[in-house]
Structure 1
Amino acid sequence: MAHEITRRSVLSGITASGLALFPAVAIAAPVTRVLVFSKTAGFRHDSIPAGIAAIRQLGTRNGFTVDATEDAGRFTTQNLAQYQAVVWLSTTGDVLNAAQQVAFESYVNGGGGYVGVHAAADTEYNWPWYGDLVGAYFASHPAQQQASVIVENRTNDSTAHLPAVWSRFDEWYNYRTNPRGRVNVLTRLDESTYRGGTMGADHPITWWRAVGAGRAWYTGLGHTIQSYSDALFTRMLLGGIRVAARAV
């Protein structure tokens, strides 16, 4: 009987399209420890220190420990096991070697969480598994400017607090491919509200998906230093960490 209840609960979390939604099984637990990884092998964002400080503040306010590193040597099976999620904060270029890649794949597939912020999509172009994890690779961006973000899903923990249309200033990425159909899109850009978009009417900018037993959550927002003092953005980031860590 218990097995059948669990089976029905899992099935209730699957959509007709086959993408996993939040399962009804009681697996959620509070976030306790998160790793922020911000190694760069290309362009380096000056917002990285502000991002680390903001995530540390989120941890202090919400009861979880935050470790920050740019040491790829921390990517071992033993070390990663202590974290419920790893935040790739505007990483760029090739940042892990082959052994470290294997360790991170095992971590996520085994139930760990991945949170990608902004230039995390400008990272590891020659690692196909990572490209699938992040959802889409960076292609280009226009000048920083104001734009409207359309919130498609206002039930997800990372977007439930947002207005239906969110006007904000940031650097807006175009992606090499449209991830829709492979990810659960949370927000998209309205390209009619700014100049330089190349993806047309359907321009996802925040999404999440299941990867093995783990979860991946990504947002293209977060280029500017000011983003990390924006309460709407930092609350979205907190929700992304919770989603990836399976705390919701």
Structure 2
Amino acid sequence: MTFRTLIFSRTTAYRHDSIPAGIRALHRLASNSTSGLHPFTADESEDPSIFNPASLAKYRVIVLLQCSGEILDETQLDALKGFVRSGGGVVAVHCASFAMQSSEWYGRLIGGVFDNHPKPQPGRIRTLDPKHPIMTCQCSPGSGKDHAAEDLGEAQLERTWLDEWYNFKTHPRETSDGLNMLLAVDEKSYEGGVHGDDHPISWCQTFDGGRCFYTSLGHFDEAYEDDWFMGQLCGGILWAAGLV
């Protein structure tokens, strides 16, 4: 059965130039999903009034794409809480950890609160949980499929990637209990990290009745043309929906 996702990309602080590329890529995922096991549709909005119980009840997953600043008022935040507590899924991308810093609940939902980042530069990424469904999903913009990486050969566990390497106000392991770490960056491979040998950059969790997947990657347009990264966003959507 087809389910609906909401792409929400409102910003009231810094706005990433890659937001349009992210929206286009997520629409491609939705379009290509019709030939896969778990088809979904995607609506997009930057209108915070959509965060009300009746509107959110239409969706199974909300994608917080590069949101920043105080994107929701108290009533709208309560609607998001109700959505999550009713079993709704959240996929949060890059700057979403910089949103709603006034809300302790939101910070725990995302699993990390952005503090700063050094200049964009290549860094070495390590895969921490290669068998997790988010990491094994293969439903890239080009493939339209959602099958396990075992069908494609052994997963690549390390790669070099160009991005903004986020430092968090509190180490994510201390922000929210029960985070399942998926990716980490090797701070020895770039300049400006503050978390030492354990610097997670992507994770997922069950939280307050729902599921949330967060990735701090995605600063540049090119990320949204990359099958490896988009496979994780698609896997994150399916996992947040409770389907994998």
TM, length-normalised to structure 2: 0.87
* Amino acid paired to 2:20: P
Residue 62 of structure 2: aligned partner? 86
Do the aligned partners of 1:51 and 1:89 also contact (CA within 8 Å) in 2? yes
Do the aligned partners of 1:31 and 1:242 also contact (CA within 8 Å) in 2? no
Paired with 1:209 and 1:85, the residues of 2 have a C-alpha distance of 14
Query: How far off its partner does 1:127 sit?
Result: 0.8
Residue 57 of structure 1: aligned partner? 28
Residue 101 of structure 1: aligned partner? 77
Cα distance change, pair 117–31 in 1 and its aligned pair in 2 (3 A): farther
Paired with 1:211 and 1:83, the residues of 2 have a C-alpha distance of 18
Give 2:124's match in structure 1, choosing from 148, 167, 180.
148
SS at 1:158 equivalent: helix
Residue 4 of structure 1: aligned partner? none
User: Percent identical across equivalent pairs?
Assistant: 39
SS at 2:211 equivalent: strand
SS at 2:172 equivalent: coil
Query: How far off its partner does 1:175 sit?
Result: 0.7
Paired with 2:103 and 2:2, the residues of 1 have a C-alpha distance of 28
Paired with 1:103 and 1:184, the residues of 2 have a C-alpha distance of 26
Query: How far off its partner does 1:145 sit?
Result: 1.0
SS at 2:135 equivalent: coil
Paired with 1:66 and 1:136, the residues of 2 have a C-alpha distance of 26
* Amino acid paired to 2:117: H
Q: After superposition, give the CA deviation of every residue in 1:178-200 in whole Å (9 maximum; x if it has no partner).
A: 12262111111111111111111
TM, length-normalised to structure 1: 0.86
Deviates more, 1:162-171 or 1:80-89: 162-171
Paired with 1:129 and 1:77, the residues of 2 have a C-alpha distance of 18
Where does the alignment leave 5 or more consecutive residues of structure 1 unmatched? 1-29
Residue 13 of structure 1: aligned partner? none
Residue 152 of structure 2: aligned partner? none
Paired with 2:238 and 2:186, the residues of 1 have a C-alpha distance of 27
Paired with 1:31 and 1:185, the residues of 2 have a C-alpha distance of 29
Q: How many residues were matched structurally?
A: 219
Query: How far off its partner does 1:31 sit?
Result: 5.6
Residue 180 of structure 2: aligned partner? 184
Query: How far off its partner does 1:171 sit?
Result: 1.1
Pairs within 5 Å for 1:12-161: 32-62=3-33, 63-160=39-136, 161=149
